A and B are shown apart, each in its own frame.
Chain A
Amino acid sequence: MTPQFGAMSSVEQLALHVGRFPVRAAQAADRTELTGNGVLRIAPSELCALVQAEFPALHVSLDLVHPGDPVRIVHALDAIEPRFKPEAGCAFPGWTGPVVPAGEGTVLALDGVAVIVSGRPAGAQPAQVEMSGPGAAYSPFAATINVVLTCEAPGMSPADFDRAVRLLGLRVAERLGRAAAECGRPPAHTETFRLADARTGQAPPAGDLPAAGYVLYVQSQGLLRDTFLYGRSAAQLLPALLHPNEVLDGALVSGNYVIGCQKNPTYLHANNPVVGELYRRHGRELIFRGVIVANEESGFAGKQAVARRVARMAGLLGWGGAVVTKEGGGNADSDLMLACRYLEAMGIRTALITNEVAGQDGASQPLVDFTPEAVAMVSAGNIDAEVDLPPAERAVGAGAGADWQKAMRVPLARLYCATNQFGWGRLRAVSV
Chain B
Amino acid sequence: MGGPVRVVHYLNQFFGQIGGEERAGVAPNLRPGPVGPGLALQAALGKEATICATVICGDNYLAEREREALAEIGRLVAQEKPDVLVAGPAFSSGRYGMACGAVGSFVARSLGIPAVTGLHPENPAVGMYRKRVFIVPTGPTAAKMVDAVRAIAPLALRLGRGEDPGAPEHGGYLPRGIRAHRWSDRSAAERAADLLLARLAGAPFESEVPLPTYDRVPPAGPVDPRAALVGIVVEGGLVPAGNPDRLESARTGRVGLYSLPAGDRMPAGQYEAVSGGFDRRHVGADPNRLLPLDALRRLQWSGAIGRLYPHYHTVVGNGADTATVDQSAREIVAALRDAGVQAAILTAT
Contact = CB atoms under 8 A, between A and B. Distances in A.
Chains A and B in contact, CB within 8 Å: yes
A372 B189 contact: no
Contacts of B207: 374-377
A423 B278 contact: no
Contacts of A223: 279, 281
A357 B251 CA distance: 11
Interface core residue of B175, B209, B280 (most chain A CB under 10 Å) = B209
Nearest to A328: B277
Contact of B182 (A225, A286, A383, A428): A428
B178 interface: yes
B334 interface: no
B187 A323 contact: no
Nearest to A323: B192
Interface string A124-140: 11000000000001000
A431 B175 contact: yes
Contacts of A360: 321, 323
A321 B321 CA distance: 32
B222 to A, nearest CB: 25
B262 interface: no
Interface residues of B, number: 51
Contact of A274 (B183, B184, B193, B210): B193
Contact of B208 (A259, A281, A331, A378): A378
Given A222-B279, A224-B279, A431-B176, A426 B186 contact: yes
Contacts, number: 206
Contact of B180 (A375, A426, A430): A430
Given A329-B319, A426-B186, A370 B192 contact: no
Interface stretch (A98-106, A347-355, A400-408): A347-355
B144 interface: no
Interface residue tally on A, bucketed by range: 35 or more
Interface stretch (B44-52, B79-87, B194-202): B194-202
A429 B184 CA distance: 9
Indicate the member of B184, B189, B195 with the most A CB atoms within 10 Å.
B189
Contact of B279 (A221, A259, A422): A221
A320 B193 CA distance: 13
Contacts of A357: 319, 321-322
A205 interface: no
Contact of B277 (A258, A285, A379, A380): A258
Interface in A262-278: 273-274, 276-278
Interface stretch (A181-189, A195-203, A361-369): A361-369
Given A359-B323, A382-B179, A277 B200 contact: no
Contact of B250 (A125, A276, A277, A365): A125
A432 B180 contact: yes
Given A364-B322, A423-B192, A377 B208 contact: yes
B199 to A, nearest CB: 4
A381 interface: yes
| Residue of A210, A378, A382, A384 most packed against chain B (CB within 10 A) | A378
Given A210-B200, A429-B209, A432-B168, 16 more contacts: A125-B249, A221-B279, A258-B277, A259-B276, A281-B197, A330-B318, A356-B179, A358-B178, A363-B131, A376-B195, A377-B207, A377-B209, A422-B189, A427-B184, A428-B184, A431-B179
Interface of B: 131, 167-168, 175-193, 195-197, 199-200, 205, 207-212, 214, 249-251, 276-281, 317-319, 321-324
28 contacts: A125-B276, A258-B276, A273-B187, A323-B193, A329-B319, A330-B317, A331-B277, A351-B193, A353-B192, A359-B322, A362-B178, A363-B178, A366-B212, A367-B212, A374-B207, A376-B199, A377-B207, A380-B188, A413-B319, A423-B189, A424-B188, A426-B188, A428-B191, A429-B209, A430-B180, A431-B175, A431-B180, A432-B175
Interface of A: 123-125, 137, 210, 212, 221-225, 258-259, 273-274, 276-278, 280-281, 285-286, 298, 320-323, 325, 329-331, 349-354, 356-367, 370, 372, 374-385, 411, 413, 420-432
